[in-house]
Amino acid sequence: MRVAIEAASLGLSSGGLARYTGELSLALARSFPDDEFFLVSDQPFRMPDDAPANLRRGGGPRNAVERRWWIWGLDREMARLGADLVHGPDFAVPYLSRRPSVMTLHDLSPWMDPRWHHGAHRVRHRTPLLLDLGIATMIVTPGDAVRKQVIEHFRLEPDRVVAVPEAPAPWFRRVDPPPAAAPYFLFVGTLEPRKNLPMLVEAWREVRRHHAIDLVLAGRRRADAPAIAEEPGLRLAGEVPDEKLPELYSGALALVCPSLYEGFGLPVLEAMQCGTGVIASSAVAEAAGDAAVYADDGATLADAMRQAVERPEWVAERRALSLARAREFSWERTARLTRGVYEEARRRFGN
């Protein structure tokens, strides 16, 4: 099979979309060495490190007409590559339905609250059209909760939508971090409205009134992120290079993920694979399972953070639960399930 994977998300400096596209393409190529996978885009992007020989960079637009990428360019590049199928890992597939296509819908956040996405107008209008017209042959979601939401919201046939769980990258491992100036709680993710960061900061302040504990916010700051300024004990780390993330996770007392809504929650599993306990909202329950402590309001969140500080046994218990939970996920499994969706898309196309 020859598969074209749209790779614009690999032009992002960080975030779940880039992680998903990169790790999935690597796992597909390694798991299916007889297949060929081409990363293509009309935007600059970086190839994943250590890509096997059957994962290659395809082309982009070659003229003015092809710069209309989703209408003409991507379709023509697929023809040049002899691709059997295209996978759009970021809410889109080509407008012309000339080959089987698979779209990944990570969540429904663009349609749930306009305050969560200041720049999602294109996605909000384009994606429903591609689904309504049947242009996307099959749809992948990261879990059953989003699958049910997608089927209901877009009125899709259930057998057209498949839940394929994601996974932490294999290089997330517990390491010995350098000594920190103070113990710290950690948030990892894009700084944006639905991450509920003001509630996290207020809960941390409440705990810090009685304990010398810091809070580190690590991630790309989006233009519409809530206003958060550094203060004593609060550090805005910005984007952290991949090679530094295991160290940051391993040194944290706990990862705190208070999001109002998530499609899955990859940072939760990344932290767990590093043996770090997790305090989270129920938005990531499908990823975290029974290994996390859940808190959906400020008072409960502050109490959970206080327990992590005051009870050393809490850290040891959560470490064991985290490691066990992370072992249930792998990108190899994700790749196998995704390729099964590719096969189903090819079978259905034109029928």
Per-residue confidence at 88, pLDDT binned at 50, 70, 90? very high
Kindly list the distances between the CA atom of residue 308 and the CA atoms of 63, 181, 237, 301, 303, in Å, as whole numbers in the listed order: 58, 18, 22, 11, 9
pLDDT for residue 351: 61
The mean pLDDT value for 144-166 works out to 96
Residue 104 structural domain: 2-167+330-348
Record the pTM. Answer: 0.91
> Residues 62, 160: one domain?
yes
pLDDT of 259 over the 80 cut: yes
Neighbours of 15 (CB within 10 A): 17
Q: Rounded mean pLDDT of 269-278?
A: 97
User: In the predicted model, what is the mean pLDDT of residues 120-135?
Assistant: 80
Same domain, 150 and 36: yes
Q: Is residue 176 part of a domain?
A: no
Q: Measured between alpha carbons, how far is 278 from 187 in angstroms, rounded to an integer?
A: 10
Number of structural domains found in the chain: 2
pLDDT tier, 133 (very low <50, low <70, confident <90, very high otherwise): confident
Residues 192 and 148 in one domain: no
User: How large a percentage of the chain has pLDDT more than 70?
Assistant: 98
Q: Quickly state the pLDDT bin for 350 (edges 50, 70, 90).
A: low
If asked whether residues 161 and 234 sit together in one domain, one would say: no
Residue 310 burial by CB count (10 A; 0-12/13-18/19+): exposed, middle or buried? exposed
Residues 148 and 243 in one domain: no
User: Which CATH number do you get for residue 6?
Assistant: 3.40.50.2000
